[in-house]
Amino acid sequence: MNYKKRHFGSYGGRYIPEVLYPAFEELEEAYFRLKDDPDFIAELIYLQKHYIGRPTPLYFAENLTSDLGGAKLYFKMEGLAHTGAHKINNAVGQALLAKKMGKKRLIAETGAGQHGLATAAAAAKMGLECDVFMGEVDMARQHPNVLGMGVFGARVIPVTDGSRTLTDAVNAALKNWTERVSDTHYLLGSALGPHPYPAMVRDFQSVIGEEVKKDILEIEGRLPDKLIACVGGGSNSIGLFNTFLNDDVELIGVEAGGEGPDTQKHAIRMSGNGRIGIVQAYKSYFLQDDNGSLKTTHSISAGLDYAGIGPELAHLADEGRIKFTHAIDSEVLDAVKMTARREGILPALESAHALAEAFKQAPKLSGDSIIVVNISGRGDKDLFITGPYFDGKNWKAFLQNEIKRLSGETS
């Protein structure tokens, strides 16, 4: 086993400050030893089944398929996983690994708060201490998740540096790890960062694609024509795609188009102007300025609002194996509405990017073709963003009444 392989083509690598060298050596050694250990695998499978709620269904979206009049649409329902998104697959995997390594404490970065929430839950389950680093700006706009993490017993540590968002939270978590490597595991949330994270997170998320493959063969007797997933850092997409890399299946990643590719407010790296760089200790495509500093990104979905992308996805894009496209905020909101209205499923805004692309493609395909869309998370968490869009007047009145009610109680 060549676990020293730390690159995907020329991407990836491990561009870490020297202080972190022993921590990464220890993590790399432990992960590649335990990932094939029968006891570790058995424990992970137990947790996947009884704690996460796996396997998640592969659902035939009959109404939308008939509305769109083309390809058959299947949804992989990752939103039904515990804590509401695929993030828990990786959090539980790494938390178990940390426990086996004898670590007492987990730290994590979070943007929207979904990864933080999953990590906090996994820490509670495993009896580990948990500190989550979160940009002050993100904390202000994602308060329900801040609250949730606290309920799970995690400390949410506000990051006040730089732009005070996800990228700064990553930096803060890395720095905190340099100060406390002996008892702490850094539970990175996406398939990016320095080696071995991209490989490790991919492996923990690959259960998504493995289940899809098994189910679609059972239901349809053949592989799908296209797989579509949204891409922020890339953990749900690589988790879906990994098992299909050598199959004759088209793989499509959908990035956050934000307010549009011609504005400065988006997170389009692969299907836009991203350039190769070395940032946050890995080499990949980044949205950056001429001087190599990251640009601020925008998306209606906080989970896709990030300037970098996993190095394996960058490599697979260069090879032509994955095609990238994007969906803009308004298309995404329409996709949420359509899916909720016609299938009774409320997808996360992130996942709705993939749905928006599927809705564009399905009508162009014949009725015997198959598209699988990863609904990586459910949309309950987005109510504070989607509420004003779906029912602005009543939502505002509700919030105002809540404030009145709470003031009445506390005054």
Number of residues that bind other proteins (CB under 8 A): 39
Buried b (16+ CB within 10 A) or exposed e, 339-362: bbebbebbbbbbbbbbbbbbbbbb
Per CB under 8 A, the list member of 39, 218, 248, 290 interacting with other proteins is 290
Residues numbered 247-276 forming contacts with other proteins, rule: CB under 8 A: 275-276
Cα(259)–Cα(249) distance, integer angstroms:
30
Complex with other proteins: residue 16 or 375, whichever CB lies closer = 16
Candidate segments 122-130, 208-216, 233-241, 291-299, binder of other proteins by CB under 8 A: 291-299
409 touching other proteins, by CB under 8 A: no
Count other C-beta atoms under 10 Å from residue 33's C-beta.
14
Burial class (CB in 10 A: 0-12, 13-18, 19+), 178: middle
Looking at residue 165, what DSSP letter applies?
Answer: S
Min dist CB 179 to other proteins, Å, is: 4
Cα(407)–Cα(228) distance, integer angstroms:
46
Min dist CB 95 to other proteins, Å, is: 24
223, 199, 203, 200: which is closest to 212 by C-alpha? 223
Complex with other proteins: residue 241 or 286, whichever CB lies closer = 286
DSSP assignment of 214-257 equals: HHHHHHHSS--SEEEEE-SSSHHHHHHHGGGTTSS-EEEEEEEE
For 352-408, list the strands marked E by DSSP: 370-375
Min dist CB 128 to other proteins, Å, is: 21
Cα(71)–Cα(66) distance, integer angstroms:
9
Residues numbered 3-22 forming contacts with other proteins, rule: CB under 8 A: 6-7, 10, 13-22
Min dist CB 17 to other proteins, Å, is: 4
Complex with other proteins: residue 25 or 380, whichever CB lies closer = 25
190 touching other proteins, by CB under 8 A: no
The beta-carbon contacts of 99-102 under 8 Å, at least 24 apart in sequence, are 99/126, 99/128, 100/30, 100/34, 100/40, 101/26, 101/27, 101/30, 101/185
Cα(341)–Cα(338) distance, integer angstroms:
5
Complex with other proteins: residue 90 or 280, whichever CB lies closer = 280
Min dist CB 196 to other proteins, Å, is: 13
39 touching other proteins, by CB under 8 A: no
Q: Tell me, what amino acid is at 360? A: K
Contact 380, 84 (CB under 8 A): yes
Cα(20)–Cα(86) distance, integer angstroms:
28
Q: x/- site string to other proteins, residues 145 to 184, per CB under 8 A?
A: ---------------xxx----x---x--xx--xx-x---
Complex with other proteins: residue 14 or 213, whichever CB lies closer = 14
Complex with other proteins: residue 16 or 156, whichever CB lies closer = 16
Q: Which residues are catalytic?
A: 87, 109, 376
Per CB under 8 A, the list member of 53, 102, 153, 292 interacting with other proteins is 292
283 touching other proteins, by CB under 8 A: yes
Q: Which positions touch other proteins (CB under 8 A)? A: 6-7, 10, 13-23, 160-162, 167, 171, 174-175, 178-179, 181, 275-281, 283, 286, 288, 290-294
